[in-house]
Structure 1
Amino acid sequence: MINFKIMGNDIQHLYVELGPSDRIYAEGGHLIWKSSSVNIKATTGSGFMAGLKRAITGASFFVLELEGPGAIDIAGFAPGKIVEIDLGGNGVMVEHRAFLAMEPTVNYDVKLVGLGFGWLGGEGLLMARLQGNGRVFLHAIGDALMLELRPGESIDVEAGHVLAFDEGMRVSIRRVGGLRTMLFGEEGLWLAHIEGPGKAWLRTLSRQQMIMGLMPELARVARSA
């Protein structure tokens, strides 16, 4: 049986112990180290169309297939938290660049979510759809939040903070404020409106915030070069 262990505090990584013939799939470029006994190969997972679907969302055409026995360690591209979701036969919609790893019993697909949802949030119109009986692991920049919404409950989320949500939840785009908000508001003009029932996972730091936070330091380095 595969043993997963999320390790670390502010900068987390995923340690995985694989038995003989156990395998997982991971997004390329996230591997830190592996036991020499672990076999690794690049694969589309379920054929050319599966690779093409991943590429359409902006993820890699190939994923890494890692087969035991042995141990591996993988992490995201930026400081943050790792989120484990046990699908139990259900599906989740995932911001494509948040995908880290999954068990082989999980199917990776793509789905169009609410016209304008990703485009206005800067994340692309298509989201990854992960479905099956298995566990998936996502990487959230900053901290990760999980909100469980009852029927009739809803939240409005700045689109860049959406990590994932249960398939079947209603998602739409809502305009924030009027002309003053559009011209001067730092939060932008659009929010993702997510309606329950179901679970929604959010990240406390968007990519835009991370880039904006680094720009003064990058400018200072460029001036001193």
Structure 2
Amino acid sequence: MALDVNLLGTTTKVAIVTLRPGQVVYSEAGKFLFCSDDVVMETKLSAPTAGGQAQQQQPQAGGFGGLLRTAVDAGKRMAAGESLAFQHFHTNGGDGLLGLAGVIPGEMRAIELDGRTTWFAEKDAFVAAEAGVNFDIAFSGLRQGFSGGEGFVLEKFTGTGTLLIGGAGDFIDINPADYGGKIRVDTGCIVAWDHGIRYGVQRIGGLSRQGLMTAVLGGEGMSVATLEGNGQVILQSVTIDGLAKALQKNTGAGDKKTGVGGMGGIFSGSQD
């Protein structure tokens, strides 16, 4: 039975999930909003298997090796900056209601995995998935990581079921094959791509005057991401770095306009 997901909202999407008996959904910590009283919420170190049970709850099947793999996976997520544990949701009775969302304003997408397709996503794109979707951490290589900044640590999804990913701003769907087979993208604009795409990092120009001008004054740094092949790419219209800089730049802007703690109050009209 397919997961019943309704995406609501405009500038910020919220996933409303109707949980049927026997279905299990897991999310990264911090993505939970609300649930009905009949939904059971548990925190576990690993994602559930297709049968709905967490991997670390089956020591008979994997023994010490299974427990070791669970510890390694949890440590790998923590080292990559992801949450150490997952939150699991299921209902023991009738249909349950569950609300999930990303941590920043923006889009959300439900992707159906069929067991043959692998998806890669930027760190923090994962919102939730149903049991049967395997979550893992992948690395794009040290050279690419140091050059690209944001593309080193990737989230990798395989298996079958519904996957929910989120991003900042609006989503843009593009296939590099429609534009000569290769596109160059600001590393902060990438949300996710399927296994038909090859990810890389390309330096902008060289150590020439124009190259340095682009890096210092163009706001793009020395490198951009490259996406090649024939497959689906999801981009976001707002970069996390751009959002952070805008918030930092405008912190206290209201106080400055009204003159609180500054000279603006002298020219902003009479005050009681």
Query: Normalization by structure 1: what TM-score?
Result: 0.91
Seen in structure 2, the aligned counterparts of structure 1 residues 51 and 222 have a Cα distance that, compared at 3 Å, is farther
Q: 1:82 to 1:209 in 2, by over 3 A?
A: same
Match of 1:104 among 115, 125, 131: 131
1:86 is matched with 112
Report the counterpart of residue 247 of structure 2 in structure 1.
214
- The 3 A distance-change label for structure 1 pair 14 and 104 is same
Identity of aligned residues (%): 28
CA-CA distance at 1:113 after TM superposition: 1.1
Q: 2:155 — aligned with what?
A: 128
The one-letter amino acid of 1:183's match is: V
Q: Which residue of 2 aligns with 1:23?
A: 24
Residue 136 (structure 1) shift: 0.8
For 1:54-102, what per-residue CA distance to the aligned partner results, in whole angstroms no more than 9, with x for missing partners?
Answer: 2232110101100024110011111100012112121111112111001
Offset, 1:148: 2.0
Given that 1:114 and 1:172 are in contact with CA atoms closer than 8 Å, whether structure 2 keeps it comes out as no
Larger helix proportion of the pair: 2
Which residue is 1:32 aligned to? 33
Q: Distance between the aligned counterparts of 1:180 and 1:128, measured in 2?
A: 33
Task: Specify which structure has the higher proportion of strand.
Answer: 1
Structure 1: segments with no counterpart, 5+ residues: none
Matched, 1:51 2:86: no
Does 2:213 align with 1:180?
yes
In the alignment, the residues of structure 1 paired with residue 32 and residue 96 of structure 2 have an alpha-carbon distance, to the nearest angstrom, of 14
CA–CA distance in structure 1, aligned partners of residues 17 and 148 of structure 2: 33
Structure 1 contact 155–193 (Cα < 8 Å) conserved: yes
Residues in 2 aligned to 1:183 and 1:148: alpha-carbon distance in whole angstroms:
30
**CA positional deviation for 1:129:** 0.8
Q: Residue 114 of structure 1 contacts residue 173 of structure 1 at CA under 8 Å; is this kept in 2?
A: no
Cα distance in structure 2, aligned partners of 1:12 and 1:6:
6
Verify the 8 A CA contact 1:86 1:134 in the aligned structure 2.
yes
Query: Aligned residue for 2:164?
Result: 137
CA distance in 1, matches of 2:165, 2:228: 22
Per-residue deviation, 1:188: 2.0
Matching of residues 143-162 of structure 1 within 5 Å: 143-150=170-177, 153-162=181-190
Gaps of 5+ in 2: 48-54, 56-69, 206-210, 262-272
The two structures have a TM-score, normalised by structure 2, of 0.76
Determine if the alignment matches structure 1 residue 165 to structure 2 residue 197.
no
- Taking only aligned residues, the RMSD between alpha carbons, in angstroms, comes to 2.0
Deviates more, 1:151-160 or 1:6-15: 151-160
**Matched positions, count:** 225
